[in-house]
Chains A and B, each alone.
Chain A
Amino acid sequence: MRKHTAKMGSAGLGRVLPVVIPTLFLLAWIVVSTTGLIPTYLLPHPLEIAEAGYAYVLGHPGEAPYAGRFLGDAGASLFRVGCGFTAAVAIGLPLGILSGRLFVIRKLMSTSVNALRAVPGITWLPLALVWFGIGMKTTIFLVALAAFFPIYLNAATGAGQVNPILLQAGAMMGVKRLRGTFAILLPGAMPHLMTGLRLGLGISWAYLVLGELTGVPNGLGAVIMDARMLGRIDMIVVGIIVIAVIGRMSDQLLQVGMRFCFKSARRMA
């Protein structure tokens, strides 16, 4: 549905409200750091973080221990998330839609999916390490596995909940199965598909860090783990902030991309 035009006042309010809590949080942080309420070896001053972050993102390699590593780390992490998430979408989306529509597939999948879902993703880490070794493959495996479930489950719900009267309407207008799937079923399920993709992408970042904590040489998770061992609390916080920012940006990119590609995402989700 098209959104109703926001009232004059709420447009400005809509821009202010999202930054209220982060601002208050930052102020409180400055206060507790400056007054020494929390010692800096537990939580460094925001300025230290800013300096470390500046060096990490914009510094030249070699200037300082982490200077200029950002691009390489972010690139490696994005690639891993991209591979894992793509695999999860490629398997989870079609399988979810099939199980939402077809009784046989739904029943066939139910035991396995629900049993596997009960196992926390982190449990797979030791096994993945044995299978794939430390690094790239393990990380991609964990990301794909974790992102699969929200994508699969939401696709199944969405496909199952498409109003049957829309499919009947299509059938009476002479729409065959293939076109019905792409022109009615998928758009009808779009709000759920979108939710699944967004949840899946979000959880991808969580499992990326898990995979990278195991001792890969590069990546955002690796930086955090490395910094912990060297006692660089400021770099841990920088790593957290960078992941938060990139995670949020990738979520928005996903939404913008989906809205650009699909009318149903533009008009309904």
Chain B
Amino acid sequence: MTSRLKAVPLRRSEVKEKVLCIDRLSKGFHTAAGYLSVLDDVSFEAESGELIAILGRSGCGKSTLLKIVAGFIPPGSGNVLLNQKPVTGPGPDRCVIFQEDALFPWLTVGENIAFGLKGQKQSGKSRATEMNRFLKLVGLNEFRDYLPGELSGGMKQRVALARVLILKPSVLLMDEPFASLDAQSREEMQNLLLRLWKELSHTILFVTHDVNEAVILADRILLMDKNPGRVREEIRVNLPRPRKRESSAFMDVSRRLNEALRD
């Protein structure tokens, strides 16, 4: 593959490189009621800069899928390849935004954002510059010295975004990150994510059970089945951006997905 790419140089716009490759992934757990297959033969690929939503009802294994990609749990069988290398554990090239609050409560907003940089060879001054840049990027300038306990849910997730974006991960893994926010904050966060995505062009896997969220965000939606978790359908969302939630095209896609989720 690499040799052919060298022999026949292609323009980036024509063939995007595959950043993430999920290859026949299966996972099951032994429970009191017997063996439970959570993921069954899931395969897909993510191109560089692509925003993929994984949509499914609770219990379809979408969070498990994300945890395997993150390296928190090993796959039962199959492989996760990141830039052609198999994933063996968690690392800063695949950062996670958790659904629940995972900030360090004893560190201020600024310290939380700079936390991941501490391990890197960088001067304190350039770390501070980076921290301020990402602080500004998520719009929390004035909250640098606040503790997480003093922030609202939406602001906490902004900090969570900043502290991983600062590490420049290859893939951003988001596990229903806005599910516990109120409707207004959720919409705000979705817009912020789209703005940051446009600016920094990350590859994003976004797990959600919210159809509208999937449609507003994603280039491509993987619709997941339950028991066992499988990718049932792959929907490319060709709506132009910025997308309007009120437009009839948007509502058509939503309706189709809602119906698909129901049966």
Q: Which residue of A lies closest to B167 (CB)?
A: A173
Contact A171 to B167, CB < 8 A, known contacts A1-B105, A268-B105: no
**A228 interfacial contact with B, CB 8 Å:** no
Which stretch from A42-50, A72-80, A161-169 is at the chain B interface?
A161-169
**A211 interfacial contact with B, CB 8 Å:** no
State which residues 57-105 of B face A: CB under 8 Å: 70-72, 89-92, 94-96, 98, 100, 102-105
Range, interface on chain B: 20 to 34
Q: Are A174 and B167 in contact (CB under 8 A)?
A: yes
**B139 interfacial contact with A, CB 8 Å:** no
Contact A174 to B104, CB < 8 A, known contacts A2-B147, A168-B90, A169-B96: no
Q: Are A174 and B105 in contact (CB under 8 A)?
A: no
- Overall SS of chain A's interface: helix
**A15 interfacial contact with B, CB 8 Å:** no
Total residues of chain A contacting the partner, CB 8 A: 23
Contact A166 to B147, CB < 8 A, known contacts A172-B90, A173-B164, A174-B91: no
A-B contact count (CB 8 A): 72
Which of B102, B103, B107 has the largest count of A CB atoms less than 10 A from its CB? B102
Q: Which residue of B lies closest to A175 (CB)?
A: B119
* Binary interface encoding of chain A residues 147-171 relative to chain B, with 1 for a CB under 8 A from any of its CBs, else 0: 0000000000000000101101101
**B226 interfacial contact with A, CB 8 Å:** no
* Binary interface encoding of chain A residues 25-67 relative to chain B, with 1 for a CB under 8 A from any of its CBs, else 0: 0000000000000000000000000000000000000000000
Q: List, in ascending order, chain A residues with CB within 8 A of B35's CB.
A: none
**In angstroms, how far is the closest chain A Cβ from the Cβ of B176?**
14
Q: Which chain A residues have a beta carbon within 8 Å of chain B's beta carbons?
A: 1-2, 163, 165-166, 168-169, 171-176, 179, 183-184, 187-188, 190, 263-264, 267-268
